[in-house]
Amino acid sequence: MLRFFRSTENQRLIARLLRESFRQHMFGYGVAIVSMLVVAGMTTASALIMSDITNEFTVSKRIDKVYLIAAAVAAIFIIKGVATFAQSYFLSRAGNSIIAERQRKIYDRILEQGIEFYHSTSSADLITRMTNNAQAARNVIDLVVTSYVRDLVSLIGLLLVMVVKQPALSLVCFVVGPLAIYGVNRILKRIRKITEMEFLSIGQIVQVMQETAIGVRVVKSFGLEDAMRKRMYKAVSDVEHRANSIATLEAGTSPIMETLAGLAIAGVILVSGFLVVQGGQTAGSIMAFITALLLAYEPAKRIARVRISLETGIVGVRMMFQLADRPLTLAEKPDAKPLLPGPGEIRFDEVSFSYNEGQSVLKDFDLTIEPGKMTALVGPSGSGKSTMLNLIMRMYDPQKGRILFDDQDISHATLASLRQKIAYVSQETFLFAGTVMHNIRLGRENATDAEVIAAAKAANAHDFITGLAKGYDTEVGENGTLLSGGQRQRISIARAMLRNAEILLLDEATSALDAESEALFRDALQQLTAGRTTIVIAHRLSTVHQADTIVVLENGQVVESGAHRDLLRQGGLYQKLYEYQLMP
Ligand code: ADP
């Protein structure tokens, strides 16, 4: 009972895994289980038949019986072979489908999470969970099924043969067996700890590798190779040490078991010798007993080790469920409704927001953004400009107050309808692996080729695209590395153009473009913003000149707002920023 309670957490995890993943694959597992029962039955039969073989050969010596026995042995092993095939085949197929299904689920959950989740979880951690943990789920189910069906049933069958054929001898084995199991269980606890650490170290390796790949320019230009190498070597050695510790523990269990089994067999031979030579027992029953004992060794070993093997997999399953159960940082209300179309007014109504408790970024913030106009946000770095865009996109929810689109609270709207209304052009343009066409079409999935090209033309991107080796079918490389900064920006404008959303949010790039790119970009932007509610985080004088209204922020407060000329005349913060060319 004590052990039962101690391992309830593991049992709960396994029960949940079976509930969530085993049921849908009942057919595959059903066939595998039936096959396993056949394998177990045939194993038992092969031990049982030894008694007939020995007795027929040594006592009755009838040749017709020999034929029969030979045929029976052949049949036993043919059936066992077919059943073993069916068992592995169906087990693997069901297992692979579980991996795929878990990976889809894990990914869906990760996608659903808000930005905060991504800030607090490293991508390396996510990758490890996506790959290792799904595999662990399959391994655990495989192990539970094979151990508790095939091995357990085989073991019970073989033990029955032993007890029926030689009750006294069986006693010897029943004393040694539990001793071995006790020894193995002691090792259990240590393996669990080490495995958990090993997972973390693998995560470290992935992280260092990613940082090296993504930050290769910084690594090279600052000569950080040694520092990176040190980190990587440390992570690699950690994994090596842990793998070695696990290997030592695992290596220890087999020989201990084997030695004990050998001793048991020696004892059995001794006692059985006496029984046959002096006790008048048939050699057949002794042979059946010894065969059953030898055959029982493997399944007994696996069952004794099942908890150790489960420990490794359970760690992965636990991590997988942790991810699945992590509350969504940003969820749609159950009664969420789509936002209705409107002129495109955005209003902050008494909004208070902080990323971390106690560090208020916006406090009782009120602001109305006029529909169809261009509003420029300016202010020193850290004044809350990006935060405003984050809240409008509902990347975060404010702790207090509301954000309204044409008088509709966005926290009551469906996320899809909210995102539909918005096109966002970020400071660093992000391109996905794929062609130019693919990257622009991400703005609106069902757009035709002609619409994509029209958008590219409006974004002043068409000319350079047709000049590329394969035009619109040119691969852009990982994160668009094959294109220049200006080209990437124009592709992202084309993407936003294609989306044709009511509201445009623009985080202006701070990096300087060359004069020609800048002119093309400006022109493209003008087309995009015409007649649309646009909020732009402005870093350039030319942008503020273009804006209808300028909102000046400082420490999360609106300190000034109005048209460029009026603000300059006031001689406040705006005038100072303007003199410094706005660039924070
Ligand atoms: P701006 O865009 O005007 O430079 P931000 O809106 O990015 O300013 O930042 C406003 C404040 O919020 C700053 O003090 C910044 O340190 C803080 N901040 C921004 N993003 C986060 C985040 N993800 N977690 C915690 N604090 C943040």
The predicted pLDDT at position 4 comes to: 36
Distance from Cα 206 to the centre of ligand 1, integer Å: 28
Whose alpha carbon is nearest atom 26 of ligand 1? 355
Instruction: Give the separation between CA 510 and CA 242, rounded to whole angstroms.
Output: 46
The predicted pLDDT at position 12 comes to: 85
The predicted pLDDT at position 3 comes to: 43
At 317, which helix (H) or strand (E)? helix 283-325
Instruction: Give the separation between CA 499 and CA 506, rounded to whole angstroms.
Output: 14
Residue that the structure tokens 């690594």 belong to: 219
Report the alpha-carbon angle 265-268-272, nearest 5: 145
Whose alpha carbon is nearest atom 7 of ligand 1? 386
The predicted pLDDT at position 583 comes to: 54
Q: Which atom of ligand 1 is nearest to the CA of 379?
A: 3
The predicted pLDDT at position 366 comes to: 94
Whose alpha carbon is nearest atom 25 of ligand 1? 355
The predicted pLDDT at position 129 comes to: 83
The predicted pLDDT at position 485 comes to: 80
Tens digit of pLDDT at every position of the chain (584 positions): 234 334 677 788 888 888 888 878 888 889 999 999 999 899 889 888 888 888 877 777 777 888 888 899 999 999 999 999 999 999 899 889 888 988 898 899 988 888 888 888 888 888 888 888 888 888 888 888 888 888 898 899 899 988 988 887 788 777 766 776 666 666 666 676 777 777 777 778 888 888 887 777 777 777 888 888 998 899 899 888 888 887 887 777 667 767 777 777 787 778 878 877 887 777 888 888 888 888 887 888 788 778 777 877 888 888 888 888 888 877 888 898 999 998 999 999 999 999 988 889 999 999 999 999 999 999 888 999 999 999 999 989 999 999 999 999 999 999 889 988 999 888 877 888 889 999 999 888 899 999 999 999 888 889 989 998 889 999 887 666 678 888 888 888 899 889 888 999 988 876 656 666 677 777 777 877 888 899 999 887 778 888 899 999 999 999 999 888 888 888 788 888 888 776 55
Instruction: Give the separation between CA 531 and CA 373, rounded to whole angstroms.
Output: 7
From the list 430, 466, 460, 578, the residue with the least C-alpha distance to 522 is 460
Pocket test for ligand 1, best of 119, 361, 362 (most atoms within 8 A of CB): 361
Q: Which atom of ligand 1 is nearest to the CA of 119?
A: 23
Distance from Cα 381 to the centre of ligand 1, integer Å: 9
The predicted pLDDT at position 120 comes to: 82
Whose alpha carbon is nearest atom 5 of ligand 1? 384
Contacts of 31 (CB under 8 A, 6+ apart): 86, 90
Distance from Cα 426 to the centre of ligand 1, integer Å: 16
The predicted pLDDT at position 298 comes to: 83
* pLDDT tens-digit readout, 157-206: 899 988 988 887 788 777 766 776 666 666 666 676 777 777 777 778 88
The predicted pLDDT at position 575 comes to: 84
Report the alpha-carbon angle 153-154-158, nearest 5: 115
Instruction: Give the separation between CA 405 and CA 340, rounded to whole angstroms.
Output: 9
Q: Which atom of ligand 1 is nearest to the CA of 377?
A: 3
- Predicted TM-score of the model (pTM): 0.70
Distance from Cα 377 to the centre of ligand 1, integer Å: 15
Distance from Cα 15 to the centre of ligand 1, integer Å: 44
CA distances from residue 463 to 456, 458, 467, 491 in whole angstroms, order as listed: 9, 11, 6, 12
Instruction: Give the separation between CA 149 and CA 156, rounded to whole angstroms.
Output: 11
At 195, which helix (H) or strand (E)? helix 167-214
Distance from Cα 384 to the centre of ligand 1, integer Å: 6
Distance from Cα 366 to the centre of ligand 1, integer Å: 18
At 86, which helix (H) or strand (E)? helix 63-112
Question: Who lines ligand 1 at CB under 6 A?
Answer: 119, 355-356, 361, 379, 381-387
Alpha helices in 113-133 (DSSP H): 115-120, 123-128
